[in-house]
Chains A and B, each alone.
Chain A
Amino acid sequence: MARRRDRNFLGPSGTVLGIGEFWALTIAGFVLFFAVWSGVAASGWLPAHLLPSPLAVWDTLVRLWHNPFAGHVYAAHLAASVERFLMGWAIAVGIGIPLGLLMGWYRLLDEIVTPLFDAMRFVAPLAWVPLAALWFGTGIGGPLLIIFVGSFAPCVISAYRGARLVEPRLVEAAQTLGASSRQVITHVLIPGALPSIIAGLRVSAGLGWQSLVGSELIVVGAGLGYLMVQGQGNLNTSVVIAGMVGIGVVGFAIDVLLRAVEQTFKRRWGQG
Chain B
Amino acid sequence: MSEIVFEGVTRRFPLPRGGEFLAIDRIDLRIEEKEFVAIVGPSGCGKTTLMRMAAGLDFPTDGRVLVGGKEVTGPGPERAVVFQQFALLPWKTVRQNIGFGLMCKGTPKAQADAAIAHYVELMGLAGHEDSFPHQLSGGMQQRVAIARAYVMQPAALLMDEPFGALDAQTRIVMQEELVRLARRNPRTVIFITHAVDEAIYLADRVVVMGRKPGRIIETIDIRPLREDGGWEAMPVEEVMDTPSFTHMRSRIWKLLKAREQERPAVPASNPAPVPAK
Contacts and interface: CB of A to CB of B under 8 A. Distances in A.
A137 to B, nearest CB: 46
A176 B100 contact: no
Interface of A is mostly: helix
Contacts of A172: 57, 75, 81, 83, 87
B75 A269 contact: no
B273 interface: no
A177 B87 contact: no
B89 A176 contact: no
A98 interface: no
Given A183-B104, A187-B100, A270-B135, A176 B90 contact: no
A93 to B, nearest CB: 20
A247 to B, nearest CB: 36
B134 A178 contact: no
B231 interface: no
B74 interface: yes
Given A177-B104, A187-B100, A270 B134 contact: yes
Given A173-B81, A191-B89, A178 B132 contact: no
A268 interface: yes
Contact of B83 (A169, A179, A183): A169
A192 B57 CA distance: 20
A194 B91 CA distance: 10
B14 interface: no
A271 interface: yes
A27 interface: no
Contact of B100 (A167, A177, A194, A270): A177
Contacts of A169: 83, 85, 87
A178 B89 contact: no
Contacts of A268: 91, 132
B148 interface: yes
A173 B87 contact: yes
A180 interface: yes
Interface in B103-157: 104-105, 132-135, 148, 152
B91 A191 contact: yes
Contacts of B85: 169
A172 B85 CA distance: 12
B190 to A, nearest CB: 13
A265 B217 CA distance: 49
Nearest to B84: A169
B79 interface: yes
Contact of A178 (B90, B91, B92, B104): B104
Interface string A161-183: 00000010110111111111001
B81 A178 contact: no
Contacts of A183: 104
Given A268-B132, A270-B132, A270-B135, A178 B87 contact: no
A182 B80 CA distance: 20
B132 A177 contact: no
A188 interface: yes
A180 B74 CA distance: 12
Contact of B89 (A187, A194, A270, A271): A187
Contacts of A187: 89, 92, 100
Contacts of B79: 176
Nearest to B90: A269
A180 B148 CA distance: 17
Contact of B55 (A176, A179, A180): A176
B74 A178 contact: no
**In this complex, which of A169, A174, A178, A192 has the most chain B Cβ atoms within 10 angstroms of its Cβ?**
A178
**In this complex, which of A167, A175, A194, A270 has the most chain B Cβ atoms within 10 angstroms of its Cβ?**
A175
A82 to B, nearest CB: 31
Given A187-B100, A270-B135, A271-B90, A178 B77 contact: yes
A86 to B, nearest CB: 27
Contact of A173 (B56, B83, B91, B135): B83
B125 to A, nearest CB: 18
Contacts of B229: none
A183 B104 CA distance: 7
A192 B87 CA distance: 13
A6 B83 CA distance: 34
Given A188-B89, A191-B89, A176 B135 contact: no
Contacts of B81: 172-173, 176
Contacts of B42: none
A177 B152 contact: yes
Interface of A: 167, 169-170, 172-180, 183, 187-188, 191-192, 194, 268-271
9 contacts: A169-B83, A172-B57, A173-B87, A175-B57, A178-B77, A178-B105, A180-B104, A191-B91, A270-B132
Interface of B: 55-57, 74-77, 79-81, 83, 85, 87-92, 100-101, 104-105, 132-135, 148, 152
Closest 10 pairs (CB-CB, A-B): A270-B134, A178-B77, A177-B101, A173-B87, A191-B91, A175-B75, A176-B75, A178-B104, A176-B81, A169-B87
